[in-house]
Amino acid sequence: MDGIRISVLGMGYVGLAGGMGYAKHGFKTIVTATTPSKVENLNKGIPPFYEPELEGLVRTEVNRGMLSATLNNLEAIRQSNVTFICVGTPSLPDGSADLGAVEAVAKDIGIAIRDKDGYHVVATKSTVVPGTTENLVLPIVEKYSGKKAGKDFGLVMNPEFLRQGQAVHDSLYPDRIVIGEHDAKAGEVIHKIYRDYKNDKEEPVPILHVEIKAAELIKYAANSLLATKITFANEFSRICEEFNIDVYEVMKGVGLDFRINPMFLNAGCGFGGSCFPKDVNAIVALAKKIGVETPLMDAVLYTNDIQPMHFIDIIKETVGNLKGKTVAFLGLSFKPDTDDTRATRALPIIEKLYEEGAMVKAYDPKAYYKFKPLTDLPIGYMDTIEEALKDADFAVVQSDWQEIREIEPETLKRLLKKPIVIDGRRSYDPERLKKAGVVYKGVGWKNRE
C-alpha cells in the first residue's frame, strides 16, 4: 500500500499493539526486540506479554506474512521506509524521563539509513518531553547518517494514547491521531498510514497535524488531565466516607455533565501503571528545570501517593489490629486485563500489610511473573481465587479482574474465616453482598453506616 513498509523499534505494549495494527491495515511491518526468545516466539505468533485478543491477531498477521520480528534494528530499518521509535522512557530517580533507549535507537536509525537510498521517515512514538525529537533524535540521526532532516529523511512525533488492558482496541480504533511534523512531507507519509483508521463508531478518525513540540506536550497534557480526574475522585472519596455517601453516586452525577464526562472518575486505591505516574513525574521534573511552578500536578502526585495508605486505614478500621491476620489479596497487576505491575498499588499496600504483622495469600490471573521480582516478602502466590480465600481472615481487592468481580457471596462466606471484603476498586454491588451476609467496606463507600 503506497509502498510504505514499516519498522517498529521496541516490542512492548505500544510497539507490538501498534505494529499489529499497521500489519492489519496492510503495511508490511517488522518489530524489533532485544531478547532472542521474544523474537523467536513472536515469529511463531506468540506475544511477549498478555493483552486481551492480542495473541490471535498477532498470529493472523504473522501467518499471512505481514508481521515479523527481528533482533536486528539495522536490518529492520533498512527493510522499511518508515521507522517508529517505541522504546521505553522510564523514570529516572529525579522523575525525569530516561531517554537512553531513544538515543540508542536514534543512533541505529542514523547508521541504517546512511547507505540506504530513498526518503525515510523517522517517527517518535515513545512519550518524550517537548524538544526531545528535534533536539535529541534529529541531531543523532543526522550525525550517524550524514543526511539532512527535512530533505533526506523526514521527522515526526506521533504520540500513542492506548490504554493497557485495551491496547488492541485502542490501537485499531483510536479516538484521534496526532502528527507532530518537522516537515510536511513526513507528516503526509504518516497521515497515509492512518487514513483508513476508524474510531469504534466506525467513523473516520480525526488526524491532527501540529508542530512537533506540541505533539510531544499533547501526550503529557492528556495523561496529566486523566491522572487529575482519577485523583479528584480519590480525594472526594475521603470526604464521602466521612459523610457515609457513595462516591460513585456523586461522580455519576458529576460525570453526566457533558463538559466533564463520566470517564476516569472512578475512585480507588490510586493510579499506577507505566504511564500516569511516570508521565506526571516527568512533566513536573521538566517544569522545575525550566522554572515553571506546577502546584496542581504536585498535588496530584502527593494525593496519589497517600491513597494506598488511606486504603490501609479503611482495612484497619474494618478488621482492627492486623498482627497475625491472613489476607486474601486479589489482583496484583496495576489494573485488570494486563499483566503489567509497574507502579502497581499492590506493592505499597502489601508492604504495609506485612509491616503491620499480616500475611498475604495473593491471587492474580496473569501478573505473578512480573510481580514476584518486585518484592522478597513471603507472599503466598495461589493458583486459584479459592485457594487465596480459603481460611484467610478477610479479602482485599486491589485489581478487579472479571473473575474477581464474579466471585459469588456464597464462595466468600464458605471460604473466608469471616466474610469480610475490603474493596479498593469498588468491584462489587455492596447491597448484594450485604444481603448475602458479607461485610462490605470500600473506597468512597458508606463504611461507617
Question: Sign of the C-alpha dihedral, residues 200, 202, 207, 208?
Answer: negative
Q: Please choose, from the candidates 127, 2, 19, the residue with its C-alpha nearest in 3D space to the C-alpha of residue 70.
A: 19
Catalytic residue among 86, 240, 269, 275: 275
Bridge partners (DSSP) listed for residue 198: 204
Provide, rounded to whole angstroms, the least separation between the CB of residue 63 and ligand NAD.
23
**Number of residues that this document lists for the chain:** 449
| Binding-site ranges for ligand NAD (CB under 6 A) | 9-15, 32-34, 73, 86-89, 101, 104-105, 126-127, 160, 162, 164, 274-275
Would you list the DSSP string of 320-386?
A: ---TT-EEEEE--SSSTT----TT-THHHHHHHHHHTT-EEEEE-SS-HHHHGGG--S--EE-SSHH
Give me the residue whose beta carbon is nearest to ligand NAD. 12
Phi-psi region of 35 (alpha: psi -120 to 50; beta: other; left: phi over 0): beta
Half-sphere exposure of 109 (CA within 13 A, CB side): 36
Q: Which is nearer to ligand NAD, 149 or 226 (CB)?
A: 226
Q: Which is nearer to ligand NAD, 9 or 20 (CB)?
A: 9
Kindly report the backbone phi and psi dihedral angles of residue 439, in degrees, each rounded to the nearest multiple of 5, phi listed first: -80, 125
Secondary structure of residue 5 in the 3-state scheme: strand
Q: What is the spatial distance between Cα 425 and Cα 166, in angstroms, rounded to a whole number?
A: 18
Provide, rounded to whole angstroms, the least separation between the CB of residue 136 and ligand NAD.
13
Provide, rounded to whole angstroms, the least separation between the CB of residue 17 and ligand NAD.
8
Provide, rounded to whole angstroms, the least separation between the CB of residue 202 and ligand NAD.
23
Place of cell 486504603: 311
Q: Is 269 a catalytic residue?
A: no
Q: Which is nearer to ligand NAD, 102 or 327 (CB)?
A: 102
Q: Quickly count: other Cβ atoms within 10 Å of residue 6's Cβ.
A: 25
Q: Which is nearer to ligand NAD, 41 or 411 (CB)?
A: 41
Eight-class DSSP state of 414: H
Provide, rounded to whole angstroms, the least separation between the CB of residue 345 and ligand NAD.
16
Q: Which is nearer to ligand NAD, 297 or 407 (CB)?
A: 297
Grid cell listed for 99: 531517554
Grid cell listed for 254: 458529576
Bridge partners (DSSP) listed for residue 395: 328, 421
Provide, rounded to whole angstroms, the least separation between the CB of residue 86 and ligand NAD.
5
The catalytic site residues sit at: 275
